Structure 1
Amino acid sequence: MSEPTEPTAPAEAAQPLDTRVLARTVEHLAERYAGVFPPELVERVVFESYATLARTARVRTYLASMAGHFADNRLAALAHAKDRDASGVVQVLFVGVHDTGPAQIAAALLAHYAQDTVEVRSAGVLPGPAVDPRALEALAARGVEAGQVYPKPVTDDVVRAADRVITFGSPDAVAVYEHTVHQHWDVADLQDAGPEQVEAVVQELDDRVRALWAELQG
């Protein structure tokens, strides 16, 4: 397997107040991944993650915090791809068009059922500004805590790390690697959907995720 691709895109200038938060995040993650990645790579991923999220963020209040979470997630993916055989945790990636509806719902449901036995991620080809609030309401009604969720761009590091990639919208949304099992779920989007349609989509996703979880356990 080839080595993980290091992020190379230049980071946009961070807001002054965010720069201090990002600097602390770099220190924290550099300690966490000491011996795995050099500090320079950690810093690059953190500031690149900030720049990427800033392009679609409507509200910047928690942007630095979200960037830290996003960077940690990407570094974990890179570490898994770097030493895949050493990790016994299955990596599942849900990819939607905007990462605001079905992909987020499916990821939250699988994380709820699998807990820490599966590493679950979601991403979007063209990430939107925010997760559809109706998706969060439908999950809450099922007792599923979505946690800190926000639309994220699909990146090579998370695709490379994935053992399973499940796409929505277009089956060709991402090019998966040879070791990855790819499935396409033809599920309706939530855009312009009424309450009954939203509930139907969530129920279909719940059924599919339960079947996937049973398969992964087997």
Structure 2
Amino acid sequence: MTEDRFGESVRDTVSAEHRAALDSAAARLEEEFGGLSAPSDIESALVSSYERLAATGTVSDQLPLSAERFARERLIASAKAEGRPVASGPAVLFVCTHNAGRSQMALGFFTRLVGDQASGWSGGSNPDPVVNPLVVAAMAERGVDIAAEFPKPWTDEFLRAADVVIDMGCGDTDPIVSGHRFEQWPLRDPAGQGIEEVREIRDDIEARVRRLIANLGLPVRD
């Protein structure tokens, strides 16, 4: 992975250790997606994922691994949007402002309840550096582990691939896409709330996710 692959905003801050980690990540992604995407597209997805997460303030030592995970999701979404066989079932994108609370909870419940019957992604218009710790704790109480999740922006790949886009309350930056189902869920932001309020928001989100799954005609895997 050459230096000129990075934009000026991060080029001087990418350490040798991160370059080596990204080289290894690129090799893994090329092995996984080699039959679906060109090597240049895979590397581009990885580099741009790294740059976007760096811009959000993602913890530095987690950046290469987080960028690999983000790039993998984007490559899957891109392949799905272009009709290439990578995942079955409908795809749902949950969006909110910071991708640190509401959309993370919704995705956590959706993934837990549908398994591999559908694809789910989440993103924010202005991602925070980390997921709200009280949100992580409240989800753990319901047996859903989102401790390894990280805020990220929603991207064009997700918008094109999603059959359903759920706005969790960002409002001012609704990513409405023609021909796709769009829903608005008016929900309080858990940021700055205590654990009891976060639990109430969590339970509201779970009920809404269960209704969504039923509307999609998918069985729930409790």
Name the TM-score, length of structure 2 as normaliser.
0.88
* Alignment of structure 1 residues 186-197 onto 2, 5 Å: 186-197=186-197
The one-letter code matched in structure 1 to 2:30 is: A
1:122 aligns with 2:112: no
Q: Which moved more, 1:57-66 or 1:90-99?
A: 57-66
% identity of equivalent residues: 31
1:29 aligns with 2:29: yes
Q: Which residue of 2 aligns with 1:77?
A: 77
Q: Which residue of 2 aligns with 1:131?
A: 131
* CA distance in structure 2 between the partners assigned to 1:17 and 1:180 by the alignment: 41
Q: Which moved more, 1:168-177 or 1:46-55?
A: 168-177
Q: Which moved more, 1:201-210 or 1:86-95?
A: 86-95
Q: Which residue of 2 aligns with 1:100?
A: 100
Residue 86 of structure 1 deviates from its aligned partner by: 8.0
Contact between 2:95 and 2:167, CA under 8 Å: does it hold in 1?
A: yes
Residue 213 of structure 1 deviates from its aligned partner by: 1.2
Stretches of structure 1 that go unaligned for 5 or more consecutive residues are 1-7
* Alignment of structure 1 residues 197-212 onto 2, 5 Å: 197-212=197-212
Q: 1:73 to 1:117 in 2, by over 3 A?
A: same
Q: 1:21 to 1:9 in 2, by over 3 A?
A: closer
* CA distance in structure 2 between the partners assigned to 1:190 and 1:55 by the alignment: 23
Residue 197 of structure 1 deviates from its aligned partner by: 1.2
* CA distance in structure 2 between the partners assigned to 1:69 and 1:84 by the alignment: 20
Q: 1:110 to 1:32 in 2, by over 3 A?
A: same
The one-letter code matched in structure 2 to 1:177 is: V
Q: 1:85 to 1:41 in 2, by over 3 A?
A: closer
Q: Which moved more, 1:156-165 or 1:187-196?
A: 187-196
* CA distance in structure 1 between the partners assigned to 2:23 and 2:147 by the alignment: 24
* CA distance in structure 2 between the partners assigned to 1:170 and 1:62 by the alignment: 27
Per the alignment, in what secondary structure is the counterpart of residue 179 of structure 2?
coil
Per the alignment, in what secondary structure is the counterpart of residue 92 of structure 1?
strand
Stretches of structure 2 that go unaligned for 5 or more consecutive residues are none
Aligned residues: 211
Residue 87 of structure 1 deviates from its aligned partner by: 5.1
Q: Which residue of 2 aligns with 1:67?
A: 67
Could you say what the CA RMSD is over the residues aligned between the two structures, in angstroms? 2.0
1:143-165 deviation per Cα after TM superposition (whole angstroms, max 9, x unaligned): 11225200001111111110110
Per the alignment, in what secondary structure is the counterpart of residue 60 of structure 2?
coil
Q: Which residue of 2 aligns with 1:20?
A: 20
Q: 1:160 to 1:107 in 2, by over 3 A?
A: same
Per the alignment, in what secondary structure is the counterpart of residue 169 of structure 1?
coil
Q: Which residue of 2 aligns with 1:43?
A: 43
After TM superposition, which residue ranges in structure 1, 4 or more long, deviate above 6 angstroms?
none
The one-letter code matched in structure 2 to 1:130 is: V
Q: Which residue of 2 aligns with 1:4?
A: none
Q: 1:44 to 1:176 in 2, by over 3 A?
A: same
The one-letter code matched in structure 2 to 1:107 is: L
